[in-house]
Structure formats: C-alpha cells, structure tokens
Amino acid sequence: MTGSVLAASLLLFDMDGTLVDSTASVERAWGRFADRHGLDAGAILAVAHGRPTIEVVADFAPQGVDVVAETDRIEAEEIDRTDGISEIPGAAALLESLDRSRWAVVTSATRALTLKRLAAVGIPLPKVLVAADDVTKGKPHPQPYMLAARALGFDAADAVAFEDAPAGLTSATEAGASTVVVGGYQGEAAAGLPRVPDLSGVRVTWDGPTLSVQLP
C-alpha cells in the first residue's frame, strides 16, 4: 500500500529501526549476553527487537542470574557504544519539519539510551518521550502509545504511528493509531498496513487543524 495520505493530529515514532538503525549494536549486545550465559543468540534476537531489555533478559537468563543487574549491564554497554549506529534516511529532516508539540518518540529502550542514540546521529530530541522507564507494561501492550498521545493532549486514535517491529506494530495498532510499517518486516503484525522503506519520502503538511501525512 503506497501513495497513501493519512490524517492525524499527532505523529508517534518508535526509535530503533524507525529513526535510528542500531541493528549492529543491538546484535552485539545480545551476543555478549548470550556468550556470558551459554545461550543461543539467534533465539534471543528472534524475539528481542522492539521489546524492553529487562523482559527479554527475564525470558532467557538462567536461573540465579540477577535480571536487573544483567539488564543494567546490557544498557550500560549500549550507551557506551554508539559506533555503527546511523540515522534511518529522512528521519532528522522529517522531525525538524514538525511542530514539537505534535510528535513524540515511543521506545522500548531506556530514556538514557534513547537520548544518547538520537543525539549521536543528529536527530532532534523530542518534547515528549515515552521510554521503557516510563511504562508498567511495555510493547506489545498499547500502554506506551496511549501514554505518549495523552502527554501531547490527544488520544492515540488521533495519531499516525511509525514502527518497524512486531511488538511495536501491535502496540500502536491496539492503541488505536493508524500505523505505518517502516522497513521490511513482513509478519502478521504488518498485514494490511501501509509501508515505507524509510522516512525519506514521508511529507507532512497542515490541512486546517489537521496534519496530512503523505506516504511515498
């Protein structure tokens, strides 16, 4: 589905895979975790993308491992290593074109990691950020997107959300947002949704009080 025009009051963006390409960094972090505990890194990576780190650690850590301490270690390693991450094409230009009161970042990363990655690749920092630290139920639960919309004074049903992974797509869709798939994910969570390869062709204009989101 290309060439769509979506009406919205606000835009909500995932970070990893949507605004920032951090694939290599994420894979290295989970690879180190797997090596420390004799785990299958491929099995972890198959389900980790878009989910809070602490939930993935809890799912895979061997009995007796301190889940909080292990999560803190992974997060610290990722904060210290911004090499190899890059902007998703068009992300910075799109966000710079928007009124800061009409967009937010909704991510399963921590607040500290999110701010470090956005700054590292030159993407504007959001007025509203809902990170893993801010929710009691992470993606795929709809709570993150509902909280972000509310913080901007809207309902999630008034939003267009940009996501790349199944957990995030489910979260945004179940919150009521009109959801756009960024990138190549082809699974069930993306079925029937509009899609863009990246953000370089996305244009947003004002149509009275409403935002008109034009997809390439």
Q: What is the per-residue pLDDT across 88-134, written as a single tens digit (0 to 9) for each?
A: 999 999 999 999 999 999 999 999 999 999 999 999 999 999 999 99
Chain centre to alpha carbon of residue 87 = 13
- Catalytic residue set: 14, 16
Which tens digits make up the pLDDT trace of 26-76? 888 889 999 999 999 999 998 887 788 898 999 999 999 999 999 999 888
Q: What is the pLDDT of residue 34?
A: 94
Of 60, 50, 57, which is closest to residue 73 (Cα–Cα)?
57
- Whole-number mean pLDDT of the chain? 93
User: With 80 as the cut, is the pLDDT of residue 193 above it?
Assistant: yes
Say whether the peptide bond before residue 166 is cis (omega within 30 degrees of 0). no
Q: What separation in angstroms does the CA of 184 have from each of 15, 80, 187? A: 16, 28, 9
Helix 53-60 vs helix 41-48: crossing angle, to nearest 10: 140
Rounded CA separation 104/14 (Å): 9
